[in-house]
């Protein structure tokens, strides 16, 4: 089975469509949260994700904020402006989809290939909504907070893999090579990067394919029409800085 794994769409439907088209055949979908916030298409993205095959979807900090579970004051002024715009525009159907999303999910059994169990969260196993796994030290501490061989996270918008073995003090930080399937060996924390707002200076949409038969993780990038999204952001007067950053990847 091929599983499409992605995170941090941030209401960017054009990037999401590019990912789905590029992914080829897939039989299940893991979405690690932040479907909304920053971009112009929150309802369209939720609708599109909700129809993907065998969906497991987690809640992100922007999704929780859109539901009013996190105070807008915890965001900087531009993120707050985008949040208020999102709240004003979310439909009842979108709100009820977001309300049902869990903070943590353990996938025990995927299919007859007998793939190993996975823990899925948006931020980190220790703090599922908030914590950023940006360095080896923080990642190492988090290996104590899940029991499965593998954990998949989003939130940082940076594709990365942390590998931790019993006899090593610190987890190793690996930047995966795109379009190169990597065989999984315990224990790992895997981040597929961001669909709608990458922050590693590569503005292309990021995602991954997990192949349960071969036990491989293939991280990928795909081009999409960024200027078309920028124009739509301008049309609904989303913050200028957010419009600029999707073209530069920060
Ligand atoms: Zn995010």
CA of 167 to the centre of ligand 1 (A): 33
CA of 178 to the centre of ligand 1 (A): 21
CA of 239 to the centre of ligand 1 (A): 16
**pLDDT means over runs of 10, the chain (250 residues):** 97 98 97 97 98 97 96 90 96 98 92 80 97 97 97 98 94 97 96 98 98 95 98 97 97
The model's pLDDT over 94-127, given as tens digits with 9 standing for 90+, comes to: 999 999 999 999 998 777 766 679 999 999 999 9
Q: Are the C-beta atoms of 172 and 136 separated by less than 8 Å?
A: yes
Name which of 61, 42, 40, 45 is nearest 242 in CA terms. Answer: 40
CA of 197 to the centre of ligand 1 (A): 8
The phi and psi torsions of 4 (rounded to 5 degrees) equal -80, 125
Q: Are the C-beta atoms of 193 and 156 separated by less than 8 Å?
A: no
The model's pLDDT over 210-240, given as tens digits with 9 standing for 90+, comes to: 999 999 999 999 999 999 999 999 999 999 9
* pTM higher than the cut 0.85: yes
Give the pLDDT of residue 166. Answer: 86
CA of 133 to the centre of ligand 1 (A): 12
């Amino acid at each position: 089975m091929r599983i499409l794994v992605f995170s941090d769409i941030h209401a960017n439907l054009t990037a999401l469509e590019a990912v789905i088209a590029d992914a080829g055949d897939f039989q299940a979908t893991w979405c690690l949260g932040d479907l909304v916030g920053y971009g112009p298409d929150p309802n369209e993205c939720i609708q599109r994700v909700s129809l993907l095959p065998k969906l497991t979807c987690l809640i992100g900090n922007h999704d929780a904020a859109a539901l009013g579970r996190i105070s807008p004051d915890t965001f900087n002024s531009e993120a707050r402006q985008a949040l208020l715009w999102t709240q004003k525009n979310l439909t009842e159907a979108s709100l009820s989809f977001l309300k049902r999303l869990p903070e943590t999910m353990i996938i025990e059994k995927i299919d007859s290939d007998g793939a190993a169990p996975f823990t899925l969260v948006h931020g980190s196993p220790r703090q599922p909504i908030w914590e950023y796994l940006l360095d080896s030290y923080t990642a190492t501490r988090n290996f104590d907070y899940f029991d499965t061989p593998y954990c998949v996270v989003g939130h940082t918008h940076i594709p990365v893999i942390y590998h931790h073995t019993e006899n090593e003090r610190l987890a190793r930080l690996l930047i995966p090579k795109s379009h190169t399937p990597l065989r999984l060996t315990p224990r790992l924390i895997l981040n597929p990067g961001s669909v709608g707002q990458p922050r590693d200076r590569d503005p292309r949409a990021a995602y991954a394919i997990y192949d349960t038969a071969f036990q491989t993780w293939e991280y990928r990038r795909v081009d999409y029409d960024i200027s078309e999204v920028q124009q739509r952001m301008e049309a609904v007067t989303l913050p200028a800085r957010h419009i600029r950053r999707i073209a530069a990847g920060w």
